[in-house]
Amino acid sequence: MSEVHTLYAITHSLFSGRARSYLIKNQIPFRELSTGHESFKADVLPKGKLPTIPTLVTPEGDVIRDGAAIIEHFEAANGRPCRPVGAKQQVVSALFDVIGTDGLLRPAMHYRWNFQEDNLDFVRYHFLYSQRDLPAREEKTEKMMGRMQQVAAIWGVSDDTKSLVEELYLEYLDTLSAHFEHYPYLLGWRPCIGDFGLIAPMYAHLGRDPYPARLMQQRAVRVYRWVERMNRADQDAPEYFNAGTDFLPDDEVPESLLNVLKVIAEDFVPETRSAAATINQWLQENRPQAGDAAERFLGQVQFELRGQTITSIAQPYRFFELQRVQAIYDALDTAEQQAVRDMLDRCDMAELLSIRLDQSIAQLDNLEVWQA
């Protein structure tokens, strides 16, 4: 694959980090352009349908919008290099993909937007220079940033909940750091689909904006190293003296990784349960037709976390990703299903196998659409 792809993305964008890392790690040549380039509006958007990044243009001119679709495009074409073979590893890999792209948005938004003294000038640079030098650029930047400053609140961070959000994030950071004592990637010696999902919030926001990046450098060097590593084409694991080259043998999912899942489960599971109830209620009332575009946000979510109530937002996309975990599980034989269930029970994640929407979501012509 010597021809160059074009990735419409930007350095400070959360979802861009997932596709970029995949391209780097799989040595797929690409150039990155911001959506400020004329070509995005003129040539790409009509085929991509929505103005979101990442959007990929292949050397043949095909347009693929959405990080999951971009990765699936290469996985399907190349014998699924980033999907482990074993049942438990496959499920854990797909689960981290959901956690990264949806489950860690709360700390990602909090640590970007609620530490303005440290972050604001840095972030403003990126918003400003993602646009061409047109007269309204400064004004547009301030407007965009003003809007974005609300997002942490939308995901449930308030004066009352912010110390809880930080407490949980720090526990997650500590357990992830402990995992990387043993291995450079989630499932051993090379990155899986889950690593790419997880890098989404961990790169642009939590691993690069000044305040959270310093926090990560000072508190969790190993996590910081993984963030660097996920943006390099080589294995980048010189500090591991016993390094292998593959996923761990015998479908092993290390205990250290289950410890990470156990921390994440605390908000991810009740939030998913509540979001499913909200969206299913909406589905009953609205009964979208097969092929109708799935909404990006659908109402509020409320759940209890360590004695406090978090009010957040329901996103159908979480369930599009979760369906992929469930599809892997559904295709397993009974003994494998039992092994997966036992593993997920141990980290309080087993309920995710059965939290489902009444209508599933597919990707069709660059849109997420409802199915019958």
Ligand X SMILES: N[C@@H](CCC(=O)N[C@@H](CS)C(=O)NCC(=O)O)C(=O)O
**What's the closest the beta carbon of residue 96 comes to ligand X, in angstroms?**
15
Comparison of 130 and 175: residue with beta carbon closer to ligand X: 130
231 Cβ contact partners less than 8 Å away, ≥ 6 residues apart: 20, 21, 24, 199, 203
* Sites for ligand X among residues 271-310 (CB under 6 A): none
Beta-sheet strands, E only, within 3-151: 5-8, 30-33, 55-57, 63-65
Q: Which of residues 4-23 bind ligand X (CB under 6 A)?
A: 13-15
| Residue 323 interacts with ligand X (CB under 6 A): yes or no | no
x/- map, 335-364, ligand X, by CB under 6 A: ------------------------------
Output the smallest distance, CB 28 to ligand X, in A: 17
Count residues contacting ligand X (CB under 6 A)?
Answer: 12
Residue that is written with structure tokens 């642009």 in the block: 204
- Name which of 66 and 209 has its Cβ closer to ligand X: 66
Which residue stretches of 205-254 are H helix?
Answer: 210-219, 221-229
Taking the least distance from each CB to ligand X, the nearer of 53 and 164 is 53
| Cβ-based neighbours of 5, under 8 Å, separated by 6 or more | 23, 28, 29, 30, 31, 56, 57, 58, 59
- If one asks whether residue 317 binds ligand X (CB under 6 A), the answer comes out as yes
Backbone phi and psi for residue 109, each to the nearest 5 degrees, phi listed first: -70, -40
The yes or no reply on residue 51 touching ligand X (CB under 6 A) is yes
CB of 333: closest distance to ligand X in angstroms? 31
User: In this chain, which of 21, 48, 57, 66 binds ligand X, going by CB under 6 A?
Assistant: 66
| Whole-Å CA distances, 226 to 170, 203, 271, 295 | 16, 10, 27, 33
Residue 97 within binding range of ligand X, rule CB under 6 A: no
Distance (Å, rounded) from C-alpha 371 to C-alpha 320? 11
Q: Give yes or no for residue 102 binding ligand X (CB under 6 A).
A: no
Among residues 7 and 14, whose Cβ is nearest to ligand X? 14
153 burial class (0-12, 13-18, 19+ CB within 10 angstroms)?
A: middle
Contact between 52 and ligand X by CB under 6 A: the answer reads: yes
In degrees, rounded to 5, the angle at the alpha carbon of residue 213 between the alpha carbons of residues 266 and 216 is 55
In angstroms, rounded to a whole number, what is the distance separating the alpha carbons of residues 159 and 172? 21
Q: Does 180 bind ligand X (CB under 6 A)?
A: no
- Shortest reach from residue 207's CB to ligand X, in Å: 15
Q: Is 356 helix (H, G, I), strand (E, B) or coil?
A: coil
Q: Which of 48, 54, 184, 191 binds ligand X (CB under 6 A)?
A: 54
Q: Which residue has the tokens 């290099």?
A: 81
Cβ 125 to ligand X, closest distance in Å?
A: 16
* 67 forms part of the interface with ligand X (CB under 6 A): yes
Query: Residue 131: exposed, middle, or buried by beta-carbon count in 10 A (0-12, 13-18, 19+)?
Result: middle
Q: Smallest gap, in angstroms, from Cβ of residue 53 to ligand X?
A: 4
Quick one: 51 or 81, whose CB is closer to ligand X? 51
| 30 binding ligand X? (CB under 6 A) | no
- Residue ranges in contact with ligand X by CB under 6 A: 13-15, 51-54, 66-68, 101, 317
